[in-house]
Amino acid sequence: MKKLFYATLISILVFNSTIAQKPLNKDSDSSKHTYLTGRFHGGIVIPHHTNMMYFIEEYSGGIEVNYGRSIFSTENWQSYFNYPEIGIGLYYGTFGNKDIYGSGYALFPYINYKLYRSPRLSIHNKVSMGLGYATKPFNEENNTYNNVFSSHLNVYIGLALLMDYRISDRLSIALSTSLTHLSNGAARKPNHGINTLTASLGTKYHFNKALTPVLTKRKAPDSNTQELFVVGSIGRNQSTPYNETLYWNASLSANYLFHLNKKRAIGIGFDQFYSQSAPYTWEAYKNSDENIEFSSRHYLFNGLFGSYNVFLGKTTLFMNLGVYLHTNIKPPQPLYPRLGIRYKITNHFIANFSLKASFFRSEFMEFGIGYRIENPFKKR
């Protein structure tokens, strides 16, 4: 691990010295600051399930490389968020027991929100979400002790507190404390997920030699825009670890948004769900007769929700909290949360990824496509 880390740092420095001799046209505008960051992580796996305490034998370690950019311009939407760093990252980490939990990889977009910034010192909190890959998932024949994830493909979520200090025109020392989560959103079971808490040390290369500008955060302009979204999504999941059947889940959602400003919006909406797995996973049927039969009416249920939306250019982060209006089986709770990301493909069409849950338990992930109408009731 250390050899790989040192090799990564050497590669970055060699790359840096090479490109430093060439004109950096893409960052010739002083408002654009681009970075390449390498970090070495060390820490622990958090044993949030009792049986994990018996199997964790080692510390967690990892390597992370980020490529990001900040645009210090009042003409850009980043000015509403105090000029964050936005980029893409690659992560490799271990989970405390290579024989049972293996190791993981992740590829993810991220955003670093500013907490404090001076020309040389920057403190940020980082939010990232992307795709993860686990090398040794649960296997009924040869890896039954791994109950944290049961598929190679997973969702990666990361939260971090970062501090960078500029020591030269091109380099900063990069420190961080990070919490990461890897799970598959109940697409396969078992799916308790795995959490790591690490500290890191690394270097950050600045393509732009100029010191970091310190600008006043720009207030997001008010907006009276209203939007109507209709989104259809689909996904599959597994009900129990020893039932290998993958069940279909689908939803049709209508959401009406009221913009508070160019940065945020609130909304109200209606969900219609079709979930073949719900009767097998909801608490009402845990102790039911094994011979019970379900029909289509058990798979259909709907709800009313409120939503909170944050706009990051063409990307929207949303958090919904809904209440079931009608079900033919009793849900675990009367409320359900839903978290997701929308991306504006065109002015009308959007891509959607979301996770439906029962409070702290994932139910299913879904991918979809939607249609957007701006100010649908405004006179043309």
How many other C-beta atoms can be found within 10 angstroms of the C-beta atom of residue 319?
14
Residue 213 is encoded by which pair of tokens? 């500008």
Below-70 pLDDT ranges, the chain: 1-29, 50, 186, 240-243, 283-292, 359-360, 380
- The DSSP letter of residue 27 is G
What does the pLDDT read at residue 330? 83
What does the pLDDT read at residue 292? 64
Q: What burial letters (b/e) apply to 18-38, b meaning 16+ CB within 10 Å?
A: eeeeeeeeebeeebbbbbbbb
What residues are paired with 55 via a beta bridge?
none
What does the pLDDT read at residue 153? 86
H or E stretch covering 172: strand 171-183
Architecture of the structural domain at 2-206: Beta Barrel (2.40)
Asked if the domains 2-206 and 226-374 are classified in one and the same CATH topology, the answer is yes
What does the pLDDT read at residue 22? 42
Residue 350 is encoded by which pair of tokens? 């959007």
Domain residue limits, the chain: 2-206, 226-374
The whole-model pTM stands at 0.80
3-state SS class at 374: strand
3-state SS class at 65: strand
Look at phi and psi of residue 39 and say left if phi exceeds 0, alpha if psi is from -120 to 50, else beta.
beta
- The DSSP-derived string for 269-335 is EEEEEEESSHHHHSGGGTTS-TT----HHHHEEEEEEEEEEEEETTEEEEEEEEEEEEESS--SSSE
* C-alpha torsion 148→91→263→269, nearest 10: -30
Distance of CA 281 to the CA centre of its chain: 25
Look at phi and psi of residue 193 and say left if phi exceeds 0, alpha if psi is from -120 to 50, else beta.
left
What does the pLDDT read at residue 346? 95
- The DSSP letter of residue 81 is G
What does the pLDDT read at residue 160? 97
What does the pLDDT read at residue 137? 85
CATH of domain 226-374: 2.40.160
What does the pLDDT read at residue 25? 43
What does the pLDDT read at residue 12? 42
pLDDT single digits (tens) 309-360: 999 999 999 999 999 999 988 888 899 999 999 999 999 999 999 988 876 6
What does the pLDDT read at residue 230? 97
Q: Where are the alpha helices (DSSP H) in 143-248?
A: none
Phi, psi angle pair for 51, to nearest 5°: -65, -20
Q: Tally the residues of the chain.
A: 380
Largest CA distance in the chain: 73
Closest CA to 63 of 146, 181, 178, 157: 178
What does the pLDDT read at residue 17? 41
